[in-house]
């Protein structure tokens, strides 16, 4: 039998570990993930969140190691995305709890996803429920990262259940921050923020201030992915504050694809110019990098340079893919420029500049276009572009 893990006097982790998932709706999860669900063993046993549908059996076994699941009286669904609600209908059908609590938007989303009556009851910020021996209060966390997102706070135990927020895609059998090595999880925490939370950074800052004002200072933060923060919950809170601030940094990323090596040559000279100008630079070919890793590198960058060859009068598909993805993440304060090679129609390279403009990127210079293979003049122009962007960044971070 799969066992629950006790995380505090009355709370057990009863989630599932997805060791081998490598693609989470287009986000590469090289270290897998977990779907955390928690069982609060008050007089009214309460289940906080469920798991992805396929992991229903694993969650149930873990619950059974503590209690007959049918004795659970309350279910709380903090977020309706299917990695946490997929197993909800089956769980409700088996348990027949007295109450299933969701936010207003959670009600809409869950109803629209499952098209069945789960007898949901809505709660809002400030509402409190008695779970027998302790109280759970609710804090809506709208747009962190869906409109329905909600936190649950177990008052006496001082544990905040934050769903996706403060989590990461990181499969681990060690359930606590102090059991996991920072050098292994830090990239995954950063990647999670960059790919899931970044567009809502202003909301993060407002929300952190609101939580502080409410006087919440949880001794444990229990998210629905990755591990539980018990030793130092402030660590992830402070990281969120830092990432959300998007403070300008002298760092650039050069993102490109190449057909016969010409655009790559241009990228090399732009990178060289940035390096010589004193900018930290990462050159990322879409042949070798996943869009979600590019997004992670963009998190603390202040310049985005993009390059593409022309294929059938279009930019390369991999560039369209990554630009569509990055646009959605709404990184602020970027400087940028475009470059690319072409055979007989260079116009599509200008489309790259338009794409940067649509992402509110400040254009540092017109696109550099190379007919076929870049000659010495174009190589020099590329290097000068790198140097010019470096200069702009240096001014920005003064």
Nearer to ligand FEO, 84 or 369 (CB): 84
Nearer to ligand FEO, 46 or 80 (CB): 80
Nearest distance from residue 168's CB to ligand FEO, in Å? 10
Residue 115 known to be catalytic: no
Active-site position among 58, 148, 164, 264: 164
Active-site position among 10, 27, 79, 240: 79
Residue with the two structure tokens 């873990």:
62
Residue 10 known to be catalytic: no
Residue 164 known to be catalytic: yes
Active-site position among 25, 115, 181, 376: 25
Nearer to ligand FEO, 140 or 164 (CB): 164
Nearest distance from residue 106's CB to ligand FEO, in Å? 12
Residues binding ligand FEO (CB under 6 A): 79, 81, 83-84, 145-146, 164, 224-225
Cβ-proximal residue to ligand FEO, closest one? 81
Nearest distance from residue 246's CB to ligand FEO, in Å? 22
Burial class (CB in 10 A: 0-12, 13-18, 19+), 280: middle
Question: What SS3 string covers the chain?
Answer: CCCCEECCCCEEECCEEECCCCEECCEECCCCEEECCEEECCCCCEEECCCCHHHHHHHHHHHHCCCCHHHCCEEECCCCCHHHHCCHHHHHHHHCCCEEEECHHHHHHHHHHHCCCCCEEECCCCCEEECCCCEEEEEECCCCCCCCCEEEEECCCCEEEEECCCCCCCCCCCCEHHHCCHHHHHHHHHHHHHHHHHHHHHHHHHHHHHHHHCCCCCCEEEECCCCEECCCHHHHHHHHHHHHHCCCCCEEEEEECCCCCHHHHHHHHHHHHHHHCCCEEEEEECCCCCHHHHHHHHCCCCEEEEECCEECCEECHHHHHHHHHHHHHCCCCCEEEEEEEECCCCHHHHHHHHHHHHCCCEECCCCEEEECCCCHHHHHHHHHHHHHHHHHHHHHCC
Contacts of residue 209, defined as CB under 8 A and 6 or more positions apart, other chains included, come to: none
Nearer to ligand FEO, 54 or 276 (CB): 54
Nearer to ligand FEO, 222 or 385 (CB): 222
Residue 225 known to be catalytic: yes
Residue with the two structure tokens 């299917």:
82
Nearer to ligand FEO, 83 or 134 (CB): 83
Active-site position among 18, 49, 58, 83: 83
Residue 79 known to be catalytic: yes
Token output for 237:
């809170």
Nearest distance from residue 43's CB to ligand FEO, in Å? 30
Nearest distance from residue 145's CB to ligand FEO, in Å? 6
Nearest distance from residue 169's CB to ligand FEO, in Å? 9
Active-site position among 84, 145, 169, 290: 145
Count of residues for the chain?
A: 398
Nearest distance from residue 163's CB to ligand FEO, in Å? 7
Residue 290 known to be catalytic: no
Active-site position among 101, 192, 193, 200: 192
Residue 145 known to be catalytic: yes
Nearer to ligand FEO, 30 or 275 (CB): 30
Catalytic residues: 25, 79, 81, 83, 145, 164, 192, 225
């Amino acid at each position: 039998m799969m066992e629950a893990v006790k995380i505090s006097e009355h709370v057990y982790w009863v989630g599932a570990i997805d060791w081998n998932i490598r693609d989470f709706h287009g986000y590469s999860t090289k270290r897998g993930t977990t779907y955390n669900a928690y069982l609060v063993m008050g007089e009214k046993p309460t289940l906080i969140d469920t798991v992805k549908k396929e992991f229903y059996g694993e969650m149930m076994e873990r619950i059974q190691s503590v209690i007959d699941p049918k004795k659970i009286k309350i279910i709380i669904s903090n977020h309706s995305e299917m990695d946490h609600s997929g197993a909800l209908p089956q769980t409700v059908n088996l348990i027949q709890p007295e109450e299933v609590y969701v936010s207003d938007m959670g009600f809409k989303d869950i109803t629209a996803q499952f098209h069945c009556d789960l007898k949901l009851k809505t709660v809002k910020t400030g509402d409190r429920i008695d779970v027998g021996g302790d109280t759970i209060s609710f804090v809506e966390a709208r747009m962190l990262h869906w409109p329905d997102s909600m936190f649950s706070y177990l008052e006496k135990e001082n544990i905040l259940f934050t769903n996706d927020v403060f989590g990461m895609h990181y499969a681990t059998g060690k359930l606590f921050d102090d059991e996991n090595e920072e050098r292994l999880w830090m990239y995954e925490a950063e990647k999670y923020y960059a790919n899931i939370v970044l567009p809502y950074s202003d909301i993060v800052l407002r929300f952190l201030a609101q939580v502080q004002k409410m006087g919440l200072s949880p001794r444990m933060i229990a998210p629905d992915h990755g591990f539980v923060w018990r030793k130092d919950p402030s660590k992830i809170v402070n990281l969120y504050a830092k990432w959300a601030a998007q403070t300008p940094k002298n760092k650039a990323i050069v993102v490109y694809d190449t057909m016969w090596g010409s655009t790559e040559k241009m990228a090399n000279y732009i990178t060289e110019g940035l390096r010589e100008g004193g900018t930290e630079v990462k050159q990322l070919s879409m042949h070798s990098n996943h869009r979600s890793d590019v997004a992670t590198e963009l998190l603390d960058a202040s310049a985005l340079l993009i390059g593409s060859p022309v294929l059938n009068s279009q930019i390369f598909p991999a560039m369209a893919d990554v630009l569509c993805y990055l646009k959605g993440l709404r990184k602020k304060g970027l400087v940028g420029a475009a470059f690319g090679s072409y055979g007989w129609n260079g116009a599509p390279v200008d489309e790259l500049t338009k794409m940067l403009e649509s992402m509110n990127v400040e254009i540092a210079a017109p696109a550099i276009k190379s007919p076929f293979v870049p000659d010495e003049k174009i190589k020099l122009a590329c290097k000068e572009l790198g140097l010019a962007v470096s200069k702009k960044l240096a001014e920005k971070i003064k």
